[in-house]
Amino acid sequence: MTDQTLRLALVAHDQRKDDLVAWARHHEPLLRDAQIVATGTTGGRLQDALPDLSIRRLKSGPLGGDQQIGAMIAEGALDALIFFTDPLSPMPHDVDVKALTRLATVYDLPMACSQSTATLVLEGLSRAEGA
């Protein structure tokens, strides 16, 4: 991490947005101290549910938002990617989804695609930040 503030990207596919909002609500105290970027629709859902969070909304995922987050990963501008993917639906922008998860792996960025892993990543990074 480059400074004390966690820099997180939060993204969810449509069938997982309720799960991400519920997860974020549960972890709001930690997320309130983070700088959050999100793809457009995900960010809107999160901001409506949790107005105290600081969220910068990018383009919607299928319209370039996934690629914007990928570029941030390549530039070292993120500490973690929380990406609740939908493993049961075909995506028209599957290539963007794959490119995003691929870059997170290339740069060894902590990435979580489900609630349990997201909690481990958030709590682990928050602990490291406080250490």
Ligand X SMILES: O=C(CO)COP(=O)(O)O
Indicate which residues carry an active-site annotation. 66
Query: Binding of ligand X at residue 81 (CB under 6 A)?
Result: no
Q: Helices 65-74 and 94-106 sit at what angle, rounded to 10 degrees?
A: 10
Segment interacting with ligand X, rule: CB under 6 A, options 27-35, 37-45, 105-113, 116-124: 37-45
Instruction: Give the C-alpha separation, 29 to 64, whole Å.
Output: 30
Segment interacting with ligand X, rule: CB under 6 A, options 28-36, 38-46, 72-80, 102-110: 38-46
Instruction: Give the C-alpha separation, 114 to 116, whole Å.
Output: 6
Determine whether the annotation assigns residue 26 to a binding site. no
Query: Binding of ligand X at residue 8 (CB under 6 A)?
Result: no
Residues 52-71: x where in contact with ligand X by CB under 6 A, - otherwise, as a string: --------xxx--xx-----
Q: How many other C-beta atoms can be found within 10 angstroms of the C-beta atom of residue 65?
A: 25
The radius of gyration of the chain from alpha carbons, rounded to an integer in Å, stands at 13
Residue bearing tokens 């820099």: 7
- Please give the annotated binding residues for substrate, written as ranges: 13, 17, 39-42, 60-61, 93
Q: Which residues bind ligand X (CB under 6 A)?
A: 11, 13, 39-42, 60-62, 65-66, 97
